[in-house]
Amino acid sequence: TRSGHLRLSLALLTALALTGTALATAAPTPSPPTALAVEDDGADCPVALPGSTPANPRLPDPFTRIDGSRVTSLADWRCRRAEIRELAERHVYGDKPAKPASVTGTVSRTSISVTATHQGRTASFSAGVDAPSGAGPFPAVIVVGGFGADTAAIKAAGAAVISYDPLAVGREGTPRSSKQGAFYTLHGASSPTGLLAAWAWGASRIIDVIEQSGSATIRADGIGVTGCSRYGKSAFAVGAFDQRVALTMPIESGSAGAPAFRSIAGESGAQPLSSAYGEQPWLGDAFSAYTGNPNALPIDTHQVIGMIAPRGLLLLENPHVDWLAARAGSVASLAGAEVYKALGAADNISYWSDVQDGTHCASRSEWRGPIQDNIREHLLKSGNAPQVFRISAKKAGNLAQWRDWQTPVLTGGGEPTSTTTTTTTTTTGVTTTTT
């Protein structure tokens, strides 16, 4: 317990959390490194997808397997996650294929080139590099798209910026029947895979090249990703589909990003699912079956958050623009945080929508601290980012309305790590601590 803070009972804390007002939690113990050396560690798991699943108006239970049994141990999570990944590919994003037979390229202090070959077809793209001064190797944050990310804060924290223009990998403005860009050159213009999965595939190939190059500039074990708006949707998918990504920071991602599909459907002013599906081929073609009926989806985005767990995740949202679906974003984040809890990594997910400036993708001083704290913890592996949940009262979802499952205590985790939780309500200014 920290001095100067009130001690409150868990019941009162829960009540505070349920008010939906801003709250923040912090854990003082550094987490172990959570990124993996492989893109998909569940690739060998047997997954039998169901023919159909009953409609569910609530967020599906992340801990119940396709066969109806429940995850009980930490070791179970690896293959349960693989099920979620398969469901996300089949119903939401389309397939993100594994690394192709050949990926080559170079890494310099200014750029990364990638050439990928699959079944005789070859495509290339590149990304910019902007490293802090001094000697590397540096961790790096892949910044998807050219706006809305605080690149100065990233560099000042000690990480390089990799500028990734995903439009060379998957173009916008094409009909679904003739998609274009490096991904579709390899996998076919009529591939049902949407742009978000294609862009995620491209980011993974950049990481392949960094890994293979043994780069003196960039460390493959310190990779983060961020981006705003449609590129926030992209950052979310990049982090979900590559377990080598140690830190994911989607900004104002809106519909087809972090916000829960079921919750978007009832959120006034939020970008409708039909619009997110139709505006650009971001989502996979199969999502067309759900735009008017998200309750039929066997998963929701809280489980995509669960795919990122236990790795670093900082969700940044804007409650002032209704279109951005920040209430549904808070719902997904609160539910996704339950997966982090079950994995013993509650402090690795943070959420911040309590911002002043309503401008979409504005430069925000509020986020500089949390972004840098997370880079230090998850990419530089020095220091410990306090977990923060600051949900704007303007767009605060209520998790209790959205779930009918409880979070399991998973066995096999060893001694539970002692965690101190600090909860802050910005509306009252009261700071409380419980252990």
Tell me which stretch binds ligand MCU (CB under 6 A): 125-133, 165-173, 271-279, 406-414. 271-279
Of 223, 288, 225, residue with least CA distance to 256: 288
Give Cα separations from 141 to 131, 208, 211 (angstroms). 10, 15, 15
CA angle 159, 162, 166 (to 5 degrees): 150
Peptide bond into 166 cis (omega under 30): no
CB of 147 to ligand MCU, least distance (A): 7
Element (H, E) at 124: strand 121-130
Q: What gap in Å lies between CA 295 and CA 154, rounded to an integer?
A: 39
Binder to ligand MCU among 166, 192, 254, 386 (CB under 6 A)? 254
Of 24, 34, 121, 52, residue with least CA distance to 388: 24
> Of the listed 111, 213, 360, 363, which one is catalytic?
360
SS (H, E, C) 324-340: HCHHHHHHHHHHHHHHH
Contact flag: residue 234 with ligand MCU (CB under 6 A): no
Number of residues counted as binding ligand MCU (CB under 6 A): 8
Contact flag: residue 229 with ligand MCU (CB under 6 A): yes
* Catalytic status, residue 350: no
Which amino acid makes up residue 348? N
Per-residue x/- track, 318-357, ligand MCU (CB under 6 A): ------x---------------------------------
For the beta carbon of residue 190, count every other beta carbon within 10 angstroms. 12
Those residues whose C-beta lies under 8 Å from the C-beta of residue 33, and which sit 6 or more positions away, are 221, 246, 381
Query: Please, which residue, 71 or 195, has the CB nearer to ligand MCU?
Result: 195
DSSP 176-221: GGG--SHHHHHH-TT----HHHHHHHHHHHHHHHHHHHT-SSEEEE
Q: What is the CA radius of gyration of the chain?
A: 20
Terminus-to-terminus CA distance in the chain, angstroms?
6
CB of 241 to ligand MCU, least distance (A): 19
Binder to ligand MCU among 255, 333, 353, 424 (CB under 6 A)? 255
CB of 280 to ligand MCU, least distance (A): 8
Binder to ligand MCU among 216, 269, 279, 292 (CB under 6 A)? 279
Contact flag: residue 397 with ligand MCU (CB under 6 A): no
Binder to ligand MCU among 80, 155, 171, 230 (CB under 6 A)? 230
* Catalytic status, residue 5: no
Query: Please, which residue, 260 or 324, has the CB nearer to ligand MCU?
Result: 324
CB of 402 to ligand MCU, least distance (A): 22
Query: Please, which residue, 255 or 424, has the CB nearer to ligand MCU?
Result: 255
Binder to ligand MCU among 215, 248, 271, 301 (CB under 6 A)? 271
> Of the listed 229, 253, 263, 350, which one is catalytic?
229
How far is Cα of residue 109 from the mean position of the Cα atoms in its chain? 27
CB of 173 to ligand MCU, least distance (A): 12
Query: Please, which residue, 231 or 241, has the CB nearer to ligand MCU?
Result: 231
Query: Please, which residue, 3 or 268, has the CB nearer to ligand MCU?
Result: 268
> Which residues contact ligand MCU (rule: CB under 6 A)?
229-230, 254-255, 271, 276, 279, 324
Q: Which residues are catalytic?
A: 229, 360
